[in-house]
Amino acid sequence: MIKLKIDDTICDILENSQEVITNAINQAVSSLPPNRIVTRLNINGNRYLGTCEPLALNQSVQSAHEIEIKTADTVIWAATGYDIALSSIERVQKSIIKSAELFRESDKLNGNRLFIQCIEGLERFIEAITITKAALKLDFSKIEHGGISLAQVESNLNLILKSVYSFQEREDYQGLADKIEYELLTNLASWGEILKVLRNNQNSNT
């Protein structure tokens, strides 16, 4: 039996070698009330966002001993999602700038310590925007900013983060500082600008 937990409710699902994790999760989520939205997914203690790694979810349920699904009120997220996402950006931006400064000063120890906190902040932002997107049923491909769709801004952020991790693994701290200052911060600024516009539009329609 596999332990499946949805918020505070625990139930067991039978192991099925023919079933993959994503099917088991979809079955569980389909039973949720219409006013609930999935905010977090944990598999064997590992946290996944709304855009989970396909390989992890395509494994057999036999590879999972615990699946935890966290949910929240859809209406609340629809009303506050923009504010939460913007707050996440504002909190992390100053720390990102400081970490880049530390890397340029070759203070890699403190730079890495601070940057780990920045990554956690970015994960919170990505989580917030993923939930907000679902709660408001937003189509990022139809939302444009400066001639570029928000879907492309989202894709660019993922590419930038992959590159950032690569620089960090190679211990190329000057390259990492460049990537942070010239690409990551620019991307976050784009998010901030368009989210403020979307929030203002939402407030004017209420």
Rounded to whole angstroms, what are the CA distances from 72 to 5, 63, 108, 137?
14, 27, 39, 15
Supply the DSSP string of 15-48, one letter for each residue: --TT-BHHHHHHHHHTTS-TTEEEEEEEETTEEE
pLDDT given for residue 139 in this prediction: 95
- Work out the number of other CB atoms within 10 angstroms of the CB of residue 77: 20
pLDDT given for residue 152 in this prediction: 96
Q: How many CA atoms lie within 13 A of 121 on its CB side?
A: 17
Amino acid residing at 92: V
How large is the angle between the packed helices 185-204 and 150-170, nearest 10 degrees? 150
Q: Which two tokens stand for residue 23?
A: 């099917």
Question: CB burial class (10 A; 0-12, 13-18, 19+) of residue 89?
Answer: buried
Tell me: the pLDDT tens digits for 77-97? Answer: 999 999 999 999 999 999 999
Alpha-carbon distance 51 to 38, whole Å?
12
How large is the angle between the packed helices 185-204 and 74-104, nearest 10 degrees? 160
pLDDT given for residue 53 in this prediction: 41
Q: How many residues does the chain have?
A: 206
Alpha-carbon distance 123 to 116, whole Å?
11
List, for the chain, all residue ranges whose pLDDT scores fall below the cut of 70: 1, 12-19, 49-64, 206
Alpha-carbon distance 72 to 40, whole Å?
9
Tell me: the pLDDT tens digits for 98-133? Answer: 999 999 998 989 999 999 999 999 999 999 999 999
Is the distance from CB of 38 to CB of 77 less than 8 angstroms? no
Phi and psi at 51, nearest 5°, equal -100, 70
- Work out the number of other CB atoms within 10 angstroms of the CB of residue 189: 12
Residue closest to 188 by CA, chosen among 113, 111, 86, 54 = 86
pLDDT given for residue 51 in this prediction: 40
